[in-house]
Amino acid sequence: MNESQPTRSTKSLVVGLVIAITVCFLAASIGGFATTSSVNGWFAEINKPTWNPPDWIFGPVWTVLYLMMGVSAWLVWKQSGFNKARLALVFFAVQLALNTTWSVLFFGLRQPGWAFAEIIALWISIALTTVLFYKHSKLAAGLLVPYLLWVTFAAVHPRAIPAGTALVPAAFLGSALISSSNGAS
Q: What pLDDT, on a 0 to 100 scale, did the predictor assign at position 4?
A: 64
Cβ 169 vs Cβ 114: under 8 Å: yes
Measured CA distances, 170 to 22, 42, 112, 167, 182 (Å): 38, 20, 11, 9, 18
Cβ 177 vs Cβ 165: under 8 Å: yes
The CA dihedral of 21, 27, 28, 32, to the nearest 10 degrees, is 160
Q: How far apart are CA 153 and CA 176, in angstroms?
A: 16
CA 15 from centroid of its chain's CA atoms: 24
Q: What pLDDT, on a 0 to 100 scale, did the predictor assign at position 22?
A: 98
pLDDT in tens, 68-93: 999 999 999 999 999 999 999 999 99
Q: What pLDDT, on a 0 to 100 scale, did the predictor assign at position 164?
A: 45
Measured CA distances, 34 to 25, 86, 138, 140 (Å): 14, 30, 33, 28
The CA dihedral of 43, 44, 49, 55, to the nearest 10 degrees, is 100
C-alpha atoms less than 13 angstroms from C-alpha of 115 in its C-beta half-sphere: 28
For the beta carbon of residue 94, count every other beta carbon within 10 angstroms: 16
Q: What pLDDT, on a 0 to 100 scale, did the predictor assign at position 127?
A: 98
Q: How far apart are CA 44 and CA 37, in angstroms?
A: 11
Closest CA to 176 of 118, 184, 162: 162
Supply the mean pLDDT for the chain.
Answer: 83
Q: What is the pTM of this model?
A: 0.82
Q: Which residues of 130-164 are buried (b: 16+ CB within 10 A; e: fewer)?
A: bebbbbbbeebbebbeebbebbeebbebbbebeee
Structural domains in the chain plus CATH codes: 10-46+53-173 (1.20.1260.100)
Cβ 69 vs Cβ 143: under 8 Å: yes
Given a cut of 50, the residues of the chain with pLDDT beneath it are: 1-2, 162-185
Q: What pLDDT, on a 0 to 100 scale, did the predictor assign at position 68?
A: 98
